[in-house]
Chain A
Amino acid sequence: MDWNCAEIEERLSDSLEGRLTPEEAQAFSAHVAGCANCQELAANVRELVRGMERLEMVPEPAGLTRRILDATLGPREHVSAWERWTRWTQAIWQPRLAMGAVTLGAMALIVFQMSGLKFSRLRHADLNPVTIVNAADRQVHMVYARSARFVNDLRVVYEIESRLQPQPEAAPEMQLPSPPQQQPQSPGTNPQQKSENDKRHDRSQLRTAALVAMLSPAAGLAGGWTRSSR
């Protein structure tokens, strides 16, 4: 068969993509071999198609994907890691719960203080409830003893002690020997002449009296004391 230029044009892509029958292919080649125009056209189209095949896609403008997602999904928050972490705690961070949180914190502090746990050297045995209770018990007694000593050493207690010197002893005498050097003293005289035991004895009485005086002003004891001064 003989093909003309029109037919060559018509079947050009079929030729390029291998869709011609053997007879058609032969007719195609035969014409192209003898026609400069068709030869040039065939060559140009072949090069063009190969060139387009090799072309990379044009990169889309920056942010297009994000804009598309915003348009379809709606504006989304870009949650940073920090925000994600605090989000779950936001239910707890409320002003009305602040007092409770502070109370809890203070309680925890006190418990830890009392239990005598050292965080730097925390051992598994330290977390035994019995250990904690014993440690807390020990701490309580120490704190009591310290506060008693503190109160004893207060100036006001010392003053009370001095003024109460002339008063008859209401508490039972201590068994330990003590030199009878209980003289009526006015405030300011040297109380060092008393024995240590006496002083301790007096002090325990005075401590009790001072604590009672400080804790029950309404009972009038403090008033009674002031009335009897000087």
Chain B
Amino acid sequence: MDPDAQLVQQCLRGEGPAWEELVKRHTRRVFNLCYRFTGNSAESEDLSQEVFLRIYRTLPSYRPAEGTFPTWLSSVTRNLLVDHYRRTKRDRQTDSIEDAMPKLEEKHSAARTPDRLALASELSGQLQTALGRLSPELREAVILRDLQQLEYGEIRTVLQVPEGTVKSRINRGRIELARVLKEMGVRPH
């Protein structure tokens, strides 16, 4: 049995340290998926917490036969990201009106400002900027494939679309990303 599935079993048996171990193993992955998608560190923290809360509450429903634990984790994360995106999309659309009026700092407006982490490499930072310019569908496909290293079959499970669609989105996402980086004057290295 793979280590994650084993830890889940231990969690369900009420063995306390197993959940801690599971969280420690996957915090970074979940945070990265959220951060690469939203570009906002604070929002990504909140979202990561929501992901693990949801996982914790629905742990008995995990079926190893239906996919690996990281796949399930990615599915839950992605769904929360979609919900979050839809919520904040409304806010983004009303930007032009609100900007004209003086207003107090709101949670949403602060969250909308991209919060760039001090990223280790130049490419990492430039990539983050470029990812922000992709449509959500292409963005998530590229992140899942090239940054989270999921297999095509796993991505199909996460996105709930046919494999052909998965391949197509990844391909188009990569091409679009390369074009944006070129426009930014970045030479791939």
Check A55 against B52 for contact (C-beta < 8 Å).
no
| Total B residues in contact with A, Cβ cutoff 8 Å | 41
- A71: chain B residues at CB < 8 Å are 49, 52-53
A58 in the interface (beta carbon within 8 A):
yes
A10 in the interface (beta carbon within 8 A):
yes
Proximity string of chain A (43-56) to chain B, C-beta cutoff 8 Å, 1 when within and 0 when not: 01101110111011
Proximity string of chain A (150-172) to chain B, C-beta cutoff 8 Å, 1 when within and 0 when not: 00000000000000000000000
The complex places the Cα of A51 from the Cα of B188 at a distance, in Å, of 8
CB within 8 Å for A55 and B48 given contacts A9-B175, A72-B23: no
Check A13 against B177 for contact (C-beta < 8 Å).
no
Q: How large is the interface on A (under 10, 10 to 19, 20 to 34, 35 or more residues)?
A: 20 to 34
CB within 8 Å for A58 and B32 given contacts A13-B167, A72-B53: yes
A143 in the interface (beta carbon within 8 A):
no
Check A73 against B19 for contact (C-beta < 8 Å).
yes
The complex places the Cα of A64 from the Cα of B56 at a distance, in Å, of 16
Check A52 against B171 for contact (C-beta < 8 Å).
no
The complex places the Cα of A65 from the Cα of B123 at a distance, in Å, of 27
B81 in the interface (beta carbon within 8 A):
no
Q: Which residue of B lies closest to A72 (CB)?
A: B56
The complex places the Cα of A64 from the Cα of B49 at a distance, in Å, of 8
A224 in the interface (beta carbon within 8 A):
no
The complex places the Cα of A12 from the Cα of B174 at a distance, in Å, of 9
Check A58 against B146 for contact (C-beta < 8 Å).
no
A69 in the interface (beta carbon within 8 A):
yes
Q: Which residue of A lies closest to B41 (CB)?
A: A61
Check A48 against B45 for contact (C-beta < 8 Å).
no
The complex places the Cα of A64 from the Cα of B47 at a distance, in Å, of 11
Tell me the B139-189 residues at the A interface (CB within 8 Å): 142, 146-147, 149, 167, 170-171, 174-175, 177-178, 181-182, 188-189
Q: Which residue of A lies closest to B124 (CB)?
A: A55
Q: Which listed segment binds A: B72-80, B95-103, B113-121?
A: B113-121
Q: Which residue of B lies closest to A46 (CB)?
A: B188
Check B171 against A12 for contact (C-beta < 8 Å).
yes
Contacting residue for B175 out of A12, A52, A68, CB 8 A? A12
Contacting residue for A64 out of B27, B120, B181, CB 8 A? B27
CB within 8 Å for A13 and B171 given contacts A44-B188, A64-B45: yes
User: Which of A14, A64, A71 has the most C-beta atoms of chain B within 10 angstroms of its own C-beta?
Assistant: A64
The complex places the Cα of A29 from the Cα of B158 at a distance, in Å, of 33
Check A56 against B123 for contact (C-beta < 8 Å).
no
| Min CB–CB distance A72 → chain B (angstroms) | 4
Check A68 against B167 for contact (C-beta < 8 Å).
no
Tell me the B41-81 residues at the A interface (CB within 8 Å): 41, 45, 48-49, 52-53, 56
Known: A47-B189, A72-B23. 4 other contacts (CB 8 A): A12-B174, A55-B124, A57-B29, A60-B32
Q: Please, could you name 23 A-B residue pairs with CB atoms under 8 Å apart, sorted by A?
A: A9-B171, A12-B171, A13-B167, A13-B174, A41-B175, A44-B181, A45-B175, A47-B188, A49-B146, A49-B174, A53-B149, A55-B121, A55-B123, A57-B29, A57-B32, A58-B119, A58-B120, A58-B124, A64-B31, A64-B45, A64-B48, A65-B27, A72-B52
Seen from chain A, the residues whose Cβ lies within 8 Å of a Cβ on chain B are: 9-10, 12-14, 41, 44-45, 47-49, 51-53, 55-61, 64-65, 67-69, 71-73
Seen from chain B, the residues whose Cβ lies within 8 Å of a Cβ on chain A are: 16, 19-20, 23-24, 27-29, 31-32, 35-36, 41, 45, 48-49, 52-53, 56, 117, 119-121, 123-124, 127, 142, 146-147, 149, 167, 170-171, 174-175, 177-178, 181-182, 188-189
